[in-house]
Amino acid sequence: MRCLLINPFYPLSENPSPPLGLAYLAAALEKAGVEVEILDFVVFPYIEADFHLKLEQFNPDIVAATAVTMTFDRAIRIIQEARRWCPDCLTVMGGPHVTFCAEETLSAFPELDLVVLGEGEETLVEIAAEAGRGRNWRHIRGLVFRQGETLVSTGKRPHPIDVNTLETPARHLLALGRYRALGMPISMTTSRGCPHACIFCVGRKMVGAKVRYRDPVKVVDEMETLAGYGFCQINVADDLFTANARHCLAVCDEILKRNLKVKWTSFARVDTVSLNVLQRMKDAGCQAVSFGIESGNAEILKIIRKGITLSQVIAAVTLCNQAGLLPHGSFILGLPGETPETLKETLAFGEELKKLGVSYGFHLLAPFPGTRVRRDSAELGITILSNDWSDYHANRAIVETPAVTRRMLDDIVIRWENDFNRYLGLVAERMAAGEASEAEAWPLVNLERTVAIYDLMMSNALEKRGGWTIRTPADHSGDLVNALADHLGATEAAGREKRVSALSHALEKGFLKYAVTADRIQWKWVDKLTGRTEAGS
């Protein structure tokens, strides 16, 4: 049995990390004896001919894609291509979007065979076993499928997964080297579940209200492994790492017991932190804590069932400062009850927090399938302006309230983006004049480096032009990075300089290597963990 797992494209601006959910699925399948490969179109370009070749070579029995709402359109197109070129394979999709749009999706796309509801590890293993038998899906819980003209749901699985029985994520199947070269973090979890019921979030409905905690020893075993991978940091991606102080402290104590030096970040709520917990997190290597603040208006916080107060936000931020942790806040604009006055309150509250050392940012409300804000939009006074799933990236308005228009919401975010771009422009000017400190220049240098490397990856530049024939000994001596830049193609002087800088950094860090044979030089992105070069998709 062979299964091909698909991570559909989403943009670099979303700060991607190696796909943890697919790595968990792959680990469960491998334990069950299934041969697994992962295609990650976040860090590899989707090239139709290459995808067809992969299907021909691997000949999968199952092609399974994951999707959030923003990536659904790309995921379903890949499923359609898989069905066209591999007509006998079983096509499967999971993730939060189809979990809450299962019937709608299966009705609209006959190329898709099965939708997995909620957590997928156990369900996908059972699918793989049944795929080799009679394909009788009725006895597998957690599925929606088509039987003739009828759609059949087997309902939710009876019990949440015991997180301590999960296999270690199969990261050996992921293109870790590419994410590391881009300066992206690597993620892990210490628990699953969210006890809170915010009306804009699907987290609780996907993984359950009861938080299930992993053994702190196993957590730190995994963290210790990840610490050796050379990533800039580890993101603890729990919905709420600080949900239980005892678990949080146990993880931190295990890190300290091993004297493990690792940088990590986490998500928290302002009503779940204390100075003791935050100080222990800092001692154990935590660098920053992210809080969902959502609004600077107390009434909106009640409407969305956030369950926090603005005074708790100030208190949590103050505690972070005392502990030496960087607090980060996120706001959502366009929530139910939003008016021009509440928008001003939120912007003013953000500026108040900024004075307290908080970095913060905005998203615009995206009424995802499965959320109460979508289901009860009329009752909540929300007008949904788009059902084009590719619009659900939360960076441009797709909702309005009776008092706030799309234009008003977009203007705030666009102004925010323009201010940031102006700031980067000023940094660039100071760098050109030799006036910028290293600390001041670093964010811009890092951003430019990341963009340059990503452009090379997604254009398959090394695969197409990263090799040349050696004619004289001088062809493989001297400044090979500049030679590589020449072979990659002409660009304006400033762009070429940034490209050379990015390539030099990648070579120095071991993200990029070259091989010299008798008559040829070939450059490739390299996964330093396994010593193998990463083949394209």
Per-residue model confidence as pLDDT tens digits over 417-452: 999 999 999 999 999 999 999 999 999 999 999 999
Query: CATH number of 185-432: 1.20.20.10, 1.10.1840.10, 3.20.20.70, 3.40.640.10?
Result: 3.20.20.70
Kindly tell me the burial class for residue 32, based on how many C-beta atoms sit within 10 Å of its own C-beta (0-12, 13-18, 19 or more): middle
Q: Looking at residue 495, what is its pLDDT?
A: 83
Sequence spans of domains, the chain: 2-153, 185-432, 438-533
Distance of alpha carbon 105 from alpha carbon 99, whole angstroms: 10
Q: Which CATH superfamily is domain 2-153 in?
A: Cobalamin-binding domain (3.40.50.280)
275-283 helix and 245-257 helix, angle to the nearest 10 degrees: 30
Q: Looking at residue 18, what is its pLDDT?
A: 97
Question: What pTM was computed for the model?
Answer: 0.95
Q: Looking at residue 536, what is its pLDDT?
A: 37
Q: Looking at residue 477, what is its pLDDT?
A: 53
Distance of alpha carbon 447 from alpha carbon 295, whole angstroms: 29
Q: 10 Å Cβ neighbour count for 422?
A: 10
pLDDT for 29 beyond 50: yes
Nearest to 169 by CA among 127, 207, 222, 120: 222
pLDDT for 497 beyond 90: no
pLDDT for 221 beyond 90: yes
- Give CA 431 to chain center in angstroms: 32
The fraction of the chain above a pLDDT of 90, given in percent, is: 89
